[in-house]
A and B are shown apart, each in its own frame.
Chain A
Amino acid sequence: MGNISNRYAIVGVGESERSRKSGTTPLHLALDAARAAIEDAGLNATDIDGVMNYNTNDSCTSHELATYLGVRPKYVKDIQGGGSSTEMLIGDAISLIESGMLNTVLIYRSMNGASGQRVGRGYDPDMLQTALSGGSFIMPYGSASPSQWFGMYATRHMHETGIRKEHLGHVCLSFYDHAQRNPNAFLHGKPLTMEDYLATPDISSPFNIHDSCLELDEGNAIIVTSAERAKDCKSKPVYIMGMSLRQTHPHVHYWNDIDQVAADYVGEELYQNAGVKPEDVQVAAIYDCFSWVVLRQLEAYGFAPRGEVGDFVAEGNLRIGGKLPTNTAGGMLAEGYTHGMNNAIEIVRQLRHEYKGTDRQVEDCEIGICTGWSGPDIAGAMILRN
């Protein structure tokens, strides 16, 4: 994106309850999240003039959400998407505000991810063959779960870099530790030791259940507006210093080229746009649909050189108190899973110093990174500051 540095801010964040059985619809969850975000920003629902969401045909529409907030917005947008969509829609919102079309945009992700339609389960195989690019070359071989697809990249990358199963474990242990400090994390009260981790059988090698994100019923919402308008909000604005978004490889679900990932390209442009370096970043929200994805992104975003990422996490650097406290609410592995939006909400709260005086606060953090990822082919990321 062009130079939008510090001219836009996230002014409201909110989420619904999270559970494995909400007993309600994605519309209700989205309304809970949206009302929480509007309340957090100190706005009225009628201040929202744009509503956007991403989904996989598992949510309510922006039109429905606006209807039951009692709002008649100028603009609604629903896209198909998972990882990196939070960043992509924030990019869209900024562009529309920049053009003068909108003032304040609410972006949400809501799903009954456990009790309703689950990612990678319960689809008709023939539908998957036609719905996925190259589907007929995948489904006949039994490859229908993201854990299998991501496992394939992980195996290759681990082979090339010497990353071992224990290193994946350190990612999980760090995030599980954070979840123990967060009463709203789904796995609060369920700590994990390396012994337990290594004793857990794999689902799709090299991943066991701890390496995989939680599938939950949950709604999340974020409000974006201009820095000018943010002054009228009651919340402490978190400013967007820079963003970068990118699609690279062909064939979303048939990756021939798994040696490079879109994040490799996003990283360079991101730091240039934001005017900071990796060493300036004090807190991170790194997309974690699987533990390994975190390791590959730490490499792509310059936090540890290729080949040294395993040591970086083994030294405890992802933990609060480490060099790069990451997914400090537990992440998608241990807090909740809304294709990245819950991680974005947490980094906003960290940069506001909302947990000041508790063991959850990354002390005096000023600059944070938030990344999205949807396989090697798509990435989006932003640098934020308080």
Chain B
Amino acid sequence: MTTMTYQKPVPLKDQDNKAYWDAADEHQLALQKCKDCNTYAHPPGPSCSKCGSKNVSWEHFGDEVTATIYSYVISYRPFLPGFQDDLPTIIALAKLDQVPEVKIMCNVLNCDEKDIRIGMPVQMIWENITEDRALPQWIPIED
């Protein structure tokens, strides 16, 4: 069973990021928003990283999430367990179409390293990595 053999790090939930990862497990995107300065915060935290306000809440964006690649690195060496079977690895920042101020770090799957480029349109998918956990990832979509 693949769920038993997942070697890569599983995202650890804590009090500040739990809402994001709980939503991810349900194949949904959730982002923290500051009600005072109207900024979306990613990664989330105990208060707004822009203005310091404690008046933060969570907003849900559903399961149809698109973005464009803002930057990337192609990693030819594994620096963490599990990635040795997955080289080269594309690590990227995806700039959300719905909320361009938010960029989410990710891997781009189903993409040859020669094809990755800044501005590439991508769509969020959720990889089921254990029985009850899912990891947001991205795949290229047609321009």
Contact B12 A142 (CB under 8 A): no
A interface residue count range (under 10 / 10 to 19 / 20 to 34 / 35 or more) = 35 or more
Contact B12 A205 (CB under 8 A): no
Contact B71 A201 (CB under 8 A): no
**Does B10 touch A at the CB level, under 8 Å?**
yes
Q: Give the distance in Å from the alpha carbon of A250 to the alpha carbon of B47 in the complex.
A: 12
If A125-B81, A152-B91, A254-B105 touch, whether A136 touches B11 (CB-CB below 8 Å) is: yes
Closest partner residue, chain B, to A149 (CB atom): B73
Contact B80 A142 (CB under 8 A): yes
Whole-angstrom distance from the CB of A43 to the nearest CB of chain B? 43
Contact B12 A129 (CB under 8 A): yes
Contact B43 A204 (CB under 8 A): no
Q: Is the interface of B mostly helix, strand, loop or mixed?
A: loop
* Cβ–Cβ < 8 Å partners of A128 in chain B: 9
Whole-angstrom distance from the CB of B92 to the nearest CB of chain A? 8
If A140-B8, A143-B105 touch, whether A130 touches B73 (CB-CB below 8 Å) is: no
Whole-angstrom distance from the CB of A53 to the nearest CB of chain B? 27
**Does A194 touch B at the CB level, under 8 Å?**
no
If A129-B12, A152-B72 touch, whether A142 touches B86 (CB-CB below 8 Å) is: yes
**Which residue from B12, B75, B101 sits with its C-beta under 8 Å from A148?**
B75
**Does A258 touch B at the CB level, under 8 Å?**
yes
**Does B104 touch A at the CB level, under 8 Å?**
yes
* Cβ–Cβ < 8 Å partners of A114 in chain B: none
Q: Give the distance in Å from the alpha carbon of A369 to the alpha carbon of B89 in the complex.
A: 38
Contact B80 A256 (CB under 8 A): no
Contact A142 B107 (CB under 8 A): yes
Mask: chain A, 170-209; 1 = CB below 8 Å from B; 0 = not: 0000000000000000000000000000000111110000
Contact A141 B105 (CB under 8 A): yes
Mask: chain A, 97-124; 1 = CB below 8 Å from B; 0 = not: 0000000000000000000000011000
Contact A137 B104 (CB under 8 A): yes
* Cβ–Cβ < 8 Å partners of A130 in chain B: 12, 14
Q: Give the distance in Å from the alpha carbon of A132 to the alpha carbon of B50 in the complex.
A: 19
If A141-B107, A254-B43 touch, whether A155 touches B10 (CB-CB below 8 Å) is: no
Q: A139-B11, A205-B76, A256-B102 are in contact. List 12 more A-B contacts (CB 8 A).
A: A121-B79, A126-B9, A130-B14, A133-B43, A140-B11, A152-B92, A155-B72, A155-B118, A156-B118, A204-B73, A205-B73, A205-B75
Task: Sort A-B residue pairs by CB-CB distance and give the 4 closest, nearest first.
Answer: A134-B43, A151-B73, A156-B71, A250-B49
Can you list 23 A-B pairs with a CB-CB distance of less than 8 A?
A120-B79, A129-B12, A130-B14, A133-B43, A137-B17, A140-B11, A142-B80, A142-B82, A144-B79, A145-B77, A145-B79, A151-B75, A152-B91, A155-B72, A156-B70, A156-B71, A156-B93, A159-B71, A201-B76, A250-B50, A251-B43, A256-B42, A258-B93
